[in-house]
Structure 1
Amino acid sequence: MTPRLPSREEAIPGRPGPVYTVPDRHTVLGRPLTGPYPADLEVADFALGCFWGAERVFWRTPGVWTTLVGYQGGHTEYPMYEEVCSGLTGHAEAVRVVFDPALLSYGELLKVFWEAHDPTQGHRQGNDIGTQYRSAVYTHSPEQSATALASREAYQSALNARGLGAITTAILPAGPFYPAEARHQQYLDKNPAGYCGIGGTGVSCPVGVDPA
């Protein structure tokens, strides 16, 4: 049976505020996990499967200032991990990427995103099945949205040339981002042999595509 996103009426009721605290510092980069961030930095949000492996891809990318994992795109306010895994919150497992645009463009960050996972799989990534593992880009400005849409079109052309399927990635304005529990932050730094279920298609994504 194909996983289905719940409606707002079907979603688990939320909470008025968080029920756990988030660590102050990134265990790898040593910088604050949550904002406010320095004014010369930008924020990008991505969902591409299990957030443990996805976060590691981004913290290893030069120009990234900090990362944190959380829940985004659903209905339930301040959800917990087990609730997100039930599929009844509507949230995706997401990574917030804070980056220095003087060192790393948003287009280059999208290249990392596309190449790190298979965006054609719908509500799954590899053996991880469920709406929480869907592919999505949550944008923070009209410029990010235009760049993401152009990048998706360019990557679809690259996938078509290799005989691969249609991209299922949603590109939507960013809504609330709820940081995940402390045990999930930089999980693969604390558990180097831990599970990582994401993997790319092997198709390179063009960079520097002009928005239509």
Structure 2
Amino acid sequence: MQSRKTHEMPTRDTALPGRPDPLRTDEVHYVTGRPLKGPHPEGFQTAIFGMGCFWGVERVFWQLPGVWVTAVGYSGGITPNPTYEETCTGLTGHAEVVQVVFNPHQIRYADLLKAFWENHDPTQGMRQGNDVGTTYRSAIYYLDDSQKAEAEASRDAYQAALTKAGRGDITTEIAPAGPFYFAEDYHQGYLAKNPGGYCGIGGTGVTCPIGVGVEA
């Protein structure tokens, strides 16, 4: 899962052209059997997170009670309907992300944010561990103003905890959600299909204070 070792985002002039049609992907989730692209139950909400290699990230979220379905894909970039190989060049602008559809009566967006912060290192810029490049950047793509406010508040709370622990500054991109492009079928539910597969994510060991007296 190595990318071209670039820390620079492409421009619209330098980005790859992509294609008009979506890639082939799974229709249902490998673990839950629920439809990746919907329809989803009325009242359920969606969140999008980038935390490095999306194989391990997806497993973090599909294991949480209240999460209906997860899917891996590409977001935050320029190239329409990019392939995995294209994203690895660093010339699409996308981050590897996980789309999380959840029941807000069973799990809060704040709970998802807590899992986000604690299961990767958000201080590493355009990398996550040994995975180097823009596609592995830490990112939260919010769907509405409420998610934006919660994401920013949780970042500030976690930064305070990291600073107290002697860690660095958060580099997480917090931006409005653009198009989400589903990754190829073999990436969906990858660690369930390949139990011994690579998982490159790991947290800082610092607890995010959401849920222990601090709200996002």
SS of the aligned residue for 1:104 comes to coil
- Scaled by the length of structure 2, the TM-score of the pair is 0.94
Q: Which residue of 1 aligns with 2:126?
A: 123
In the alignment, the residues of structure 1 paired with residue 177 and residue 18 of structure 2 have an alpha-carbon distance, to the nearest angstrom, of 18
8 Å Cα contact 2:90-2:134 kept in structure 1? yes
Task: List runs of 5+ in structure 1 lacking aligned partners.
Answer: none
In the alignment, the residues of structure 2 paired with residue 112 and residue 210 of structure 1 have an alpha-carbon distance, to the nearest angstrom, of 14
Equivalent residue in structure 2 for 1:177, among 168, 175, 180: 180
Q: Which residue of 2 aligns with 1:135?
A: 138
> 4+ runs of 1 displaced by more than 6 Å?
none
In the alignment, the residues of structure 1 paired with residue 203 and residue 215 of structure 2 have an alpha-carbon distance, to the nearest angstrom, of 24
Write out aligned runs for 1:140-179 (5 A). 140-179=143-182
- Identity, % of aligned pairs? 61
SS of the aligned residue for 2:192 comes to helix
8 Å Cα contact 2:6-2:132 kept in structure 1? no
8 Å Cα contact 2:110-2:215 kept in structure 1? no
User: Amino acid of the residue matched to residue 47 of structure 2?
Assistant: A
Pairing 1:43–2:43 present:
no
In the alignment, the residues of structure 2 paired with residue 131 and residue 165 of structure 1 have an alpha-carbon distance, to the nearest angstrom, of 19
Equivalent residue in structure 1 for 2:97, among 90, 94, 97: 94
User: Amino acid of the residue matched to residue 115 of structure 1?
Assistant: E
In the alignment, the residues of structure 1 paired with residue 65 and residue 33 of structure 2 have an alpha-carbon distance, to the nearest angstrom, of 15
**Aligned CA-pair RMSD:** 1.2
SS of the aligned residue for 2:18 comes to coil
Pairing 1:4–2:21 present:
no
Q: Which residue of 2 aligns with 1:13?
A: 17
Tell me the CA shift for residue 182 of structure 1.
0.1
In the alignment, the residues of structure 1 paired with residue 13 and residue 42 of structure 2 have an alpha-carbon distance, to the nearest angstrom, of 38
In the alignment, the residues of structure 1 paired with residue 92 and residue 215 of structure 2 have an alpha-carbon distance, to the nearest angstrom, of 35
Equivalent residue in structure 2 for 1:113, among 112, 116, 133: 116
